[in-house]
Structures are given as structure tokens and as C-alpha cells.
Amino acid sequence: MAVMLDARGLRVEVGPAHARRDVVRDVSVLLYRGEIVALVGETGSGKTMTALSLLRLLPQGARGEAKTLRLGDVDIAALSEADMGHIRGSRISMIFQDPLAALNPVRTVGFQIVEPLRAHRRMKAGDTKKRAAALLAQVGIPDPAYNAKRYPHELSGGMRQRVLIAAALACDPEILLADEPTTALDVTIQAQILRLIRAETERRGLAVLLVTHDLAVASTIADRIQVMYGGTIVERGKTRDVLREPNHPYTKGLLDSVPTVRRKLTPLRAIPGSPEGVAAIRQGCRFAPRCAYAIDRCVVEEPPLVEVAPDHESRCWVFAPPKGGT
């Protein structure tokens, strides 16, 4: 299968020089054509920073680096800012949690959907109108010619997210980064938007990174899951394998707290402790303060990501000890 995005050794640091901390460490993201990879973890685990670093769009004060950052045969890390600007919104698109904040309140949705086409493809005004209606139809908006003339506040939250998806797909990108795209929506609409993302992924051969704090969302849509905790990947594998045979104590805890994924009849059980304060931990396994299985080594040394089954990796001294016993 073709790797469309190949990012390895991602690292993001924040804070002033004397109090620098890394909020993303040793993260890799490999996206294949036609596949959805979910990046799952609690708030603050570094998911958004990871996604933004792929676009080289980190907020002020954050610094990113990557061992490898390639889009097809293009070395993104080596591009000038101007060339990177051409890639954003055309070859790699991103959608966010809050469509209202991402849309301009004083422009019609039709105008905004084709904005990337005007910016990247220099399309003529007459052509963009037809294209806007066609894109709205593709993302399931009824009466597209009429709705194209409406303003964001006149649409429901679900419709607005469809509009953002249409805008993100306008230039036929290869990669879609979706950061909590359904978190602000109610459950029924959430399912519809996830189905839309799935359908477009298959129809267009997109490669998608879906960022979510919700393992239930990841399990319904993703081909592969990467679980993040405290700035790094603690487990990753095919969705089916991670759900059936979770290895890492954090993943097991996440699964136990999602009633629809496993243990349908047991009451919802949260992972003890909270991820707060994890940023202050600078060595060892970042999950150690909340882990029931921690051994002495856990607080001293961060475990490596180790293959526990084919195409399934975990980062844990106890459940995924390195072969050869380093």
C-alpha cells in the first residue's frame, strides 16, 4: 500500500528556554491511501500539536522538529514557508472541532467552499459557483444552489461541519487531518459526519488522520489506532487488534471506560487519577503515577515502543518488554 504521509521522530517543545518541555516526543504518523488512522488520547496528550506539526502550523512559542516529514516524494521539512503555504489546503487539508470559528460569518458558505480553489487553482468566478454547488451536494447538503447562498449562522452545526469538509476537499487533497471533527455535535449528527468522512476517504482514496479524545469514535471509523499519552504514542495497531488485545495499561483503562466498545454490561469505569500534571513528569513512563502495574524501572526510564504482535506495538516495561531484555 502507498504511504502518502510519512512522519517520524516528531517532537514539539513549548515554553521559554529555561523551562522548556516537550509536549510531543518520538511520535510517528504513517498515513496510507484510503485509510483512516485515529490518534486517540485524553485532552492535553499532544494530539493537536502532532497534527499541527504535520502542517508546520504550530502556535507561537512552540517549536517542532521531525526526523522524517514527507508527503509522497516531497520533503515537507525542507520546503520554504511559501511552498508550504501551497501545500496547506490543497494537498493536505485540515478540519477542526468548531466549524463556526473556522468559517467567516460575513461570507456565504458557497463563497468559502471555493476559496481554496481560488487561492490554489486560480479558478474563474463562473466556474467556482458550479463547483461550490457540486461540492455541497457531495457532502450531503440538500438544495445546494440555495444553501450555497446562505451564511454560516443560518446552518445547523452538522451542516456547518459538512461545509468545512466540502471546503477541505475542494482542491482534491491527498491528506485530510480532522481534529475532533464531531466533538461539538450531538451523537446522531456525529455518526452522520463520521460516515461522510469514511465514504469520502474510500471514494477519493484519501489518507486521513482523525484526532479524537473518544475511543468510541475511533473504534467506529478508524482502520488503525494510535493511542497517545503524555506526548507520546503508547500503543498502536490495527483497530481490531487494539480493541481485542489491548496491551498497554492506559489503553486497557480507556477501553474499560467506554461502555460500547467492550464490557457492555459493566458500569462505566474511569481510569484512576488524571492526566493533569503529566507535563511536569520529565522522565520514565508518563503513565506511571496512574498505573497499577508500575515497577521501579517505570519511573526512571521511558520504555521503548516494542512489537507485541505483527503490526501491533506497545510502550510498557511490564507488558511489552524489549526482546533481548535491554
Ligand X SMILES: Nc1ncnc2c1ncn2[C@@H]1O[C@H](COP(=O)(O)OP(=O)(O)O)[C@@H](O)[C@H]1O
**Which residues are at the interface with ligand X (CB under 6 A)?**
14, 23, 41, 43-49, 59, 61-62, 279
| Residue 284 CB, nearest approach to ligand SF4 (Å) | 8
Q: Residue 214 CB, nearest distance to ligand X (Å)?
A: 12
- Does residue 272 interact with ligand SF4 by CB under 6 A? no
Which part of the chain contacts ligand SF4 (CB under 6 A), choosing from 138-146, 174-182, 266-274, 315-323?
315-323
The arrangement of strands across the sheet holding 92-95 comes to: 92-95, 175-179, 207-212, 36-40, 224-229, 232-238, 312-314, 306-309
Is 317 among the residues that bind ligand SF4 (CB under 6 A)? yes
Q: What angle do CA 303, 309, 315 make, to 5 degrees?
A: 15
3-state SS assignment for residue 164 = helix
Minimum CB separation from ligand SF4 for residue 253, in Å? 10
Residue 230 gets the label, from left (phi > 0), alpha (psi -120 to 50) or beta, of left
Report the b/e string of 120-157 with b at 16+ CB within 10 A.
bbebeeeebbebbbebbbbbbbeebeebbebebeebeb
Residues in the chain: 326
Residue 315 dihedral angles phi and psi, to the nearest 5°? -120, 85
CB of 173 within 8 A of CB of 90?
A: yes
Choosing among ligand X, Mg ion, ligand SF4, none, which partner's interface includes residue 147 (Cβ < 5 to 8 Å by kind)? none
Listed ranges 30-38, 120-128, 282-290, 305-313: which one lies at the site for ligand SF4 (CB under 6 A): 282-290
Out of 278, 294, 305, 308, name the contact with ligand SF4 by CB under 6 A: 294
Using CB under 5 A, pick the residue from 45, 48, 138, 247 that binds Mg ion: 48
Where on the chain is the footprint of ligand SF4 (CB under 6 A)?
248-249, 285, 287-288, 291, 293-294, 298, 303, 316-318
Where on the chain is the footprint of Mg ion (CB under 5 A)?
48
